[in-house]
Chain A
């Protein structure tokens, strides 16, 4: 069983290696976006894409120390665009995100938020999440700048302790009107 798994892993690595060599070999001609997407549809991905997702980000960005101002802006955007479906510490419509920057690379997070449809339909890890949550992540008009700000917010919360549902950023349903006896 173990051998078989190992064999599969080796075969998979070999396949990735071959794809990479072939792609590198094409060097004379830059791959177009249409060609990339066609390749994804066929299930052929580079090792970078397997690890860091498919989307506009093709290399791991260099991140400096956490920028608090950018993280604050990111929190605002998280409340607007993400909190409808994500808590940090518990499952909502989608998975909890507190430790996502520890589980995943920065490039993966940036690709996931900017290219959620193809991540969910074509990327092996994305497909697993769709099968688990029975839901494609919605497209929220995330620009590279917004994606970067969201990433900064997620980095800033990664090492903080979990909090209760009511304290989750953007926790939804506000309390009923105070004047109503019927709500007691």
Chain B
């Protein structure tokens, strides 16, 4: 009721503001949510740096975008799961293997959850992980180069939404299957879901030095839909918690059929125990087929096909998994900085349930069970519940923490963020967001050391917030100050693709480590050149390798002859520059391919198959100097 009144008041205020503005002859600006000195809090003066890097998932764009906070300025789009012709990613010979899967080359995916690596549950600034939702994959981005270094496919998964959630020392990247499927895959009636479908939870081991990922083991779990996850910490270290829905085990019209039960589950998985069982040889080796793609020491992507995985069947190992009943189709699953509380936003419930890890352990000890699902014990709701945040808003999804004793939960349906107190579970503040917030993000808000200055709302719908751009509108972030008792709206800024989750890290942890160029002396590409004298053209049958160098402001060679119609021409372009911000581009007229963008000291290769004789220009696409326009050449193609 109070909210309703507030809205009426807001509408009246808006109307008045519009009239005043019209009378004054200036454009009407929305005042909703903003406050007096907001501009000074987000203003980063020309030449000054932002306080934080924010890594925003690109959703259906398949990429990650890098923004500065508090300014909301876009710095870079990092290509991950989608081809990017601007950078030649997924087009150049050195990057094409990164997009290989067991289904073949896939130029796209749906990227949801950005996760920064951590040590002792604090951000360490080494890597960023992100999931491919559609064709199950996890990517690792190096935070010194801001490039995708590795992508691993996940077998026995039917949709990689609950991923990649990592353990406190980045021991494992954890991925649950959203859709249960027959494991191993087989041709069965879809209506045989209950009988034939299984879920899986994958544990990918991360090498602490190189970051290299290896699928260590999978746990086969009862066939329902698994979702978001967080790892335990402190007292709950060694466990991971996953929300789930469709405990009804339905296979059609899920919006109705999978919303019947009052409670679904948080699955608590003892990964330390799983690790021990696998070490004891208790796992079974199962045939499968997945791809593992990584940049080798020459910075060339390589694909390896892997044909087996170690599996633990949850049913056979008591103590490995418990279900914690949780209202109702819960979505987000978040662990507070102390590691004691597991918070699950009951998407279809008008409350946020908070479970206690201590109570969970006692309930396990006392066998306070309420039945089982497919061999996995279900604990009693009352036995594990720490408290409920009552009337938080509508459609509670995700919770992040400020490190000062408060949780912040996003409300999708009522478009607001609700702040509540850990321990008393009382709502202490709420702020409207515009509109339909999904995830929210406090920098480090899922670690033991949150940077509790801002929360960013990641909104799905912007409707009237920006100048209209036809039917498709941008998604947006909203930066909110959380330093005081009341949340204060600071800034709206558009985001790319659909931002699902994002993570942010203080700039001081990354900026000094940023690579400025690659050393030409350490270039291990077999087609590199270290000087113009090493450039040249070599024919092997119908294949022609052209080694080209770039430096401001010419190509060598810049007159290329001897190419014939029907040849397959590999241009290996080495950028000889050894300077910061000195990439060169390379594009050939009529090439059915992208351009190349070659970083200083790097070699990148693009293929051209000329179809007609003639003389074809090529040129540098990335403005490099006053004589950039002159940086060009010709290729003669003969019959």
Could you list 22 A-B pairs, sorted by A, with CB under 8 Å? A79-B531, A83-B531, A84-B554, A84-B576, A85-B552, A93-B551, A93-B552, A135-B626, A136-B552, A139-B578, A139-B579, A170-B531, A171-B533, A174-B533, A176-B562, A180-B564, A181-B638, A182-B563, A182-B564, A182-B638, A183-B561, A183-B562
CB pair A174 B536 closer than 8 Å: yes
With A84-B551, A138-B577 known, 18 other A-B pairs at CB within 8 A are A80-B530, A84-B531, A139-B578, A140-B579, A141-B519, A170-B533, A171-B533, A172-B556, A173-B532, A173-B535, A173-B558, A174-B535, A174-B537, A176-B561, A180-B561, A181-B638, A182-B564, A183-B561
**Nearest chain B residue, comparing its CB with the CB of A116:** B579
**Nearest chain B residue, comparing its CB with the CB of A142:** B578
Interfacial chain A residues near B579, Cβ < 8 Å = 117, 138-140
Contact with A along B610-626 (1 / 0, CB 8 A): 00000000000000011
CB pair B553 A135 closer than 8 Å: yes
Interfacial chain A residues near B580, Cβ < 8 Å = 139
Is B457's beta carbon under 8 Å from chain A?
Answer: no
Contact partner of B626 (CB less than 8 A), chosen from A85, A134, A140, A179, is A134
CB pair A84 B556 closer than 8 Å: yes
In the bound assembly, the distance between CA atoms of A136 and B536 in angstroms comes to: 27
**Nearest chain A residue, comparing its CB with the CB of B559:** A173
Is A65's beta carbon under 8 Å from chain B?
Answer: no
Is A61's beta carbon under 8 Å from chain B?
Answer: no
In the bound assembly, the distance between CA atoms of A79 and B544 in angstroms comes to: 25
In the bound assembly, the distance between CA atoms of A182 and B537 in angstroms comes to: 14
In the complex, how many residues of chain A place their beta carbon closer than 8 angstroms to a beta carbon of chain B? 27
In the bound assembly, the distance between CA atoms of A143 and B582 in angstroms comes to: 19
Contact partner of B533 (CB less than 8 A), chosen from A79, A140, A179, is A79
Nearest first, the 6 A-B pairs at minimum CB distance are: A182-B638, A180-B562, A173-B557, A139-B579, A172-B532, A141-B578
CB pair B549 A84 closer than 8 Å: yes
**Nearest chain B residue, comparing its CB with the CB of A134:** B626
CB pair B625 A83 closer than 8 Å: no
Is A177's beta carbon under 8 Å from chain B?
Answer: yes
The verdict on A177 contacting B582 (CB below 8 Å), with A93-B554, A135-B553 known, is no
Is B486's beta carbon under 8 Å from chain A?
Answer: no
Is B538's beta carbon under 8 Å from chain A?
Answer: yes
CB distance from B28 to the nearest CB of A (A): 46
CB distance from B618 to the nearest CB of A (A): 14
Interface residues of B in 514-543 (CB under 8 A from A): 519-520, 530-533, 535-539
Interface residues of B in 263-295 (CB under 8 A from A): none
CB pair A182 B636 closer than 8 Å: yes
CB pair A176 B533 closer than 8 Å: no
In the bound assembly, the distance between CA atoms of A135 and B625 in angstroms comes to: 7
CB pair A170 B532 closer than 8 Å: yes
Interfacial chain B residues near A117, Cβ < 8 Å = 579
The verdict on A177 contacting B551 (CB below 8 Å), with A79-B533, A136-B625, A183-B561 known, is no
In the bound assembly, the distance between CA atoms of A72 and B551 in angstroms comes to: 24
Interface residues of A in 116-150 (CB under 8 A from B): 117, 134-136, 138-141
CB distance from B561 to the nearest CB of A (A): 5
Interfacial chain B residues near A171, Cβ < 8 Å = 533
In the bound assembly, the distance between CA atoms of A138 and B558 in angstroms comes to: 20
Is B627's beta carbon under 8 Å from chain A?
Answer: yes
Q: Which of A79, A117, A135, A139 is the most central at the interface, judged by chain B CB atoms within 10 Å of its CB?
A: A139
CB pair B559 A182 closer than 8 Å: no
CB distance from B93 to the nearest CB of A (A): 21
CB distance from A116 to the nearest CB of B (A): 9
Contact with A along B575-612 (1 / 0, CB 8 A): 01111101000000000000000000000000000000
Interface residues of A in 61-96 (CB under 8 A from B): 79-81, 83-85, 93
Interface residues of A in 147-175 (CB under 8 A from B): 170-174
CB distance from A38 to the nearest CB of B (A): 16
Interfacial chain B residues near A136, Cβ < 8 Å = 552, 625
Interfacial chain A residues near B576, Cβ < 8 Å = 84
Interfacial chain A residues near B520, Cβ < 8 Å = 141
The verdict on A182 contacting B561 (CB below 8 Å), with A84-B549, A93-B554, A177-B538 known, is yes
Q: Which of A85, A117, A135, A174 is the most central at the interface, judged by chain B CB atoms within 10 Å of its CB?
A: A174
Contact partner of B535 (CB less than 8 A), chosen from A135, A138, A139, A172, is A172
Contact with B along A103-120 (1 / 0, CB 8 A): 000000000000001000
Interfacial chain B residues near A135, Cβ < 8 Å = 552-553, 625-627
CB distance from B531 to the nearest CB of A (A): 4
In the bound assembly, the distance between CA atoms of A139 and B625 in angstroms comes to: 13
CB pair B539 A138 closer than 8 Å: no
CB pair B562 A182 closer than 8 Å: yes
CB pair B627 A84 closer than 8 Å: no
In the bound assembly, the distance between CA atoms of A34 and B183 in angstroms comes to: 64
In the bound assembly, the distance between CA atoms of A84 and B558 in angstroms comes to: 13
CB pair A80 B531 closer than 8 Å: yes
Q: Which of B519, B531, B538 is the most central at the interface, judged by chain A CB atoms within 10 Å of its CB?
A: B531
Contact partner of B551 (CB less than 8 A), chosen from A79, A138, A141, A173, is A138
Interfacial chain B residues near A177, Cβ < 8 Å = 537-539, 544, 562
CB distance from A88 to the nearest CB of B (A): 15
Interfacial chain A residues near B533, Cβ < 8 Å = 79, 83, 170-172, 174
In the bound assembly, the distance between CA atoms of A99 and B594 in angstroms comes to: 44
CB distance from A1 to the nearest CB of B (A): 34
Interfacial chain B residues near A84, Cβ < 8 Å = 531-532, 549, 551, 554, 556, 576
In the bound assembly, the distance between CA atoms of A173 and B531 in angstroms comes to: 11
In the bound assembly, the distance between CA atoms of A82 and B410 in angstroms comes to: 58
CB distance from B526 to the nearest CB of A (A): 18
Interfacial chain B residues near A134, Cβ < 8 Å = 626-627
**Nearest chain A residue, comparing its CB with the CB of B533:** A170
CB pair A173 B519 closer than 8 Å: no
**Nearest chain B residue, comparing its CB with the CB of A173:** B557
CB pair A140 B578 closer than 8 Å: yes
**Nearest chain B residue, comparing its CB with the CB of A179:** B539
CB distance from B275 to the nearest CB of A (A): 45
In the bound assembly, the distance between CA atoms of A173 and B556 in angstroms comes to: 6
In the bound assembly, the distance between CA atoms of A43 and B59 in angstroms comes to: 51
In the bound assembly, the distance between CA atoms of A183 and B580 in angstroms comes to: 38
Interfacial chain A residues near B537, Cβ < 8 Å = 174, 176-177
**Nearest chain A residue, comparing its CB with the CB of B554:** A93
In the bound assembly, the distance between CA atoms of A180 and B576 in angstroms comes to: 28
Interfacial chain A residues near B556, Cβ < 8 Å = 84, 172-173
Interfacial chain B residues near A83, Cβ < 8 Å = 531-533
Q: Which of B532, B537, B539 is the most central at the interface, judged by chain A CB atoms within 10 Å of its CB?
A: B532
In the bound assembly, the distance between CA atoms of A76 and B601 in angstroms comes to: 18
In the bound assembly, the distance between CA atoms of A91 and B549 in angstroms comes to: 20
Interfacial chain B residues near A182, Cβ < 8 Å = 561-564, 636, 638
In the bound assembly, the distance between CA atoms of A84 and B535 in angstroms comes to: 11
Interfacial chain A residues near B532, Cβ < 8 Å = 83-84, 170, 172-173
